[in-house]
Amino acid sequence: MSIKLKALLKSPWVFHLSTGSCNNCDIEILDCLTPRFDIERFGMLLVGSIKHADVLLITGSGNRKSMERAKRLYEQIPKPCLVVAVGECALSRGMFVHSYNCPVPIDKVIPVDVYIPGCPPKPEAIIAGVVKLIEKVRKSTEKK
Amino acid sequence: MEKTIIPIGPYHPLQEEPELFLLTVEGEKVVDIDVHIGYNHRGIEKLSETKTFDQSTFLIERICGICSTSHPFAYTRAVEDIIPIEVPERAKYIRTIIAEGERIHSHLLWLGLAGHFLGYNTVYMWAWKLREEILDVMEILTGNRNNYAMFKPGGVRRDIKSEDIPVVIKKIDSIVPTLEMLKKAVIDDPVCMLGRKE
Amino acid sequence: MTREEVLDDLRRKFKDDIIEVFDKSPKRVYVEIKPDSIVQVASYIFKDLKARFNTASGVDLRYHMEILYHFLIEDINLLISLRVKLQKQKLEIDSISPIFEGSSWIEREIHEILGINFKGHKDLRKLLLPDDWPEGVYPLRRDYKEWDKNVIRDRGV
């Protein structure tokens, strides 16, 4: 299990999921692939199917209709996988706390590894968060 | 001919927002379509009943991330019509500058995405690289790349400094030759237009 | 036709349906009519005056509910709003979707969020709320109470 996790970090493939957001965080994630903050040099790609993915990026405050489908998608991703929550709305629903269509925050439904705050977070912040995640996983596999 | 139903499901590689389209297809022609929405509904109207007129401007900015200036602009114009109240001259100029800056970055965004959906990734990368210059200009003027928070019923919230203006003008003038090249690459390109005109 | 000609035309044709005309500014006019005659007035404004239907908005006030229909005449830059008042015991009105198709989705949304019944509408399904939302609970009314037992409303700080 630890060899698989170590090999996963060399070139992780990313799947992006939006559970009811205003699209600002999604555009900043697409902005990371453009020539100024190039993350394709680390081998990260955006894929279309959930069965090819290693890392799951979640944005948006948890909508009632979207959370059923998100739970089904989390059961289909091949384990071991890493989950990253991007933006204020994914951390604790942001300013939509008292809304009638957002009952619970996302980490009561899906277990999350890394939180990246900001509204929207700048692409430098997203890259810094992903680098911290890779170092944390690398340290925990080396101790074993 | 029998009919089949093809679902283009909520989460799709081309879409960024979840929507469900059910296409009814006979052979290769699309006959009927059924649209299911509601995956993005957050209840903003109900939330703004509990906030004051100034506080709900921040809620309204988060309706959409790309057109983040048009919605508060319409809202503050409506509130100033009800009261009624006169807006000073300098505030009108500042509002126009910010709205025009947002229009430029929004047009470059859809140009890049149109190229991306057709498979023409060169236009996508060039358009979004130019877009970064405009976002730098907005960061010098207001402090953030996307949600500016400059509108308030009765005027604007912050002022712009006069020593920033020559820097801004120089940056905007430097993207004009690259835009001309991009226009020639898209419209006058024979390979791109060959299969698309029919 | 100029603005005054349009208003005089409306006042002449629908003399007993119009209750009040409120002139707010050179660009906006509010016309209040009885609930039974909405189909006639709307089809006259849409077909003969060649106006465009913008949207409809529903409001929950203290003792009654209102629906406003907004039409825009582009040549003279005039926005006409038709106001209809409904009592809370009997929330029903004729639907205007047989006249033009563009109003069927906004009537579905007003029905599921405020609870007003539109008679003659083809297809009153839910548009925005999920399928397991309970019947008879309308979110945008003033006396809406939280019905779900498993919600978390504090941030945990």
ipTM of predicted complex: 0.83
Cα of B183 to nearest chain A Cα, Å: 19
Cα of A56 to nearest chain B Cα, Å: 13
Q: Cα angle at B96 between B95 and B99, to 5 degrees? A: 85
- Distance CA(C97)–CA(C95), nearest Å, equals 6
Does B13 contact chain C (CB < 8 Å)? no
Cα of A99 to nearest chain C Cα, Å: 9
Question: Average pLDDT, stretch B57-69?
Answer: 90
Show residues of chain C in contact with A100, CB under 8 Å: 139, 144, 146
Q: Are residues B56 and B146 in the same domain?
A: yes
Q: Are residues B32 and B15 in the same domain?
A: yes
Q: Are residues B98 and B151 in the same domain?
A: yes
Q: Which residue range forms the structural domain that includes residue B130? A: 44-175
Q: Residue B125 falls within a domain, yes or no? A: yes
- DSSP bridge partners of C56: C69
Nearest to C96 by CA among C60, C19, C44, C28: C44
Instruction: Locate B136 and state its tokens.
Output: 């730098």
When divided into structural domains, chain B yields a total of 2
Q: Are residues B142 and B94 in the same domain?
A: yes
Show residues of chain C in contact with B46, CB under 8 Å: 139-140, 144
Query: What is the residue-averaged pLDDT of chain C?
Result: 86
Cα of C103 to nearest chain A Cα, Å: 25
Question: Average pLDDT, stretch B30-50?
Answer: 89
Neighbours of chain C (3+ CB pairs under 8 A): A, B
Cβ contact (<8 Å) for B37 and C130?
A: no
Residue A87's domain is classified under what CATH number? 3.40.50.12280
Residues above pLDDT 70, as percent of chain B = 94
- Closest residue in chain B to residue C129, using alpha carbons only: B38
The CATH number of the domain covering residues in C3-90: 3.30.460.80
Nearest-10 Cα torsion for A70, A75, A77, A80: 120
Interhelix angle B121-141/B176-187, nearest 10 degrees: 150
- Distance CA(C63)–CA(A131), nearest Å, equals 59
Q: Are residues B24 and B73 in the same domain?
A: no
Residue of C25, C130, C140 lying closest to B46 (CB–CB): C140
Q: How many A/C residue pairs have CB atoms within 8 Å?
A: 21
- Distance CA(B177)–CA(C25), nearest Å, equals 46
- Closest residue in chain A to residue C127, using alpha carbons only: A65
pLDDT digits (tens, 9 = 90+) for A28-75: 988 888 888 888 888 888 888 889 888 889 999 988 988 888 899 899
- Distance CA(B152)–CA(B58), nearest Å, equals 10
Cβ contact (<8 Å) for C156 and A104?
A: no
Cα of C136 to nearest chain A Cα, Å: 15
Show residues of chain C in contact with A90, CB under 8 Å: none
pLDDT digits (tens, 9 = 90+) for B97-155: 999 999 999 999 988 888 888 888 888 888 898 899 899 999 999 988 888 889 999 99
* Predicted confidence band of residue A142 (pLDDT cuts 50, 70, 90): confident
pTM: 0.87
Residue of C25, C129, C140 lying closest to B38 (CB–CB): C129
Prior bond of A80 cis (ω within 30°):
yes
Q: Residue B109 falls within a domain, yes or no? A: yes
DSSP state of B69: T
CA distances from A54 to A15, A77, A94, A128, B2 (A): 8, 8, 27, 18, 40
CA A10 to centroid of chain Cα atoms? 17
- Distance CA(B15)–CA(A29), nearest Å, equals 14
Cβ contact (<8 Å) for B45 and C129?
A: no
DSSP state of C36: G
Q: Are residues B31 and B51 in the same domain?
A: no
The pLDDT score that the predictor gives to residue B120 is: 81
Q: Are residues B89 and B163 in the same domain?
A: yes
Q: Are residues B25 and B111 in the same domain?
A: no
The pLDDT score that the predictor gives to residue C48 is: 80
Cβ contact (<8 Å) for B38 and C139?
A: no
Cβ contact (<8 Å) for C152 and A101?
A: no
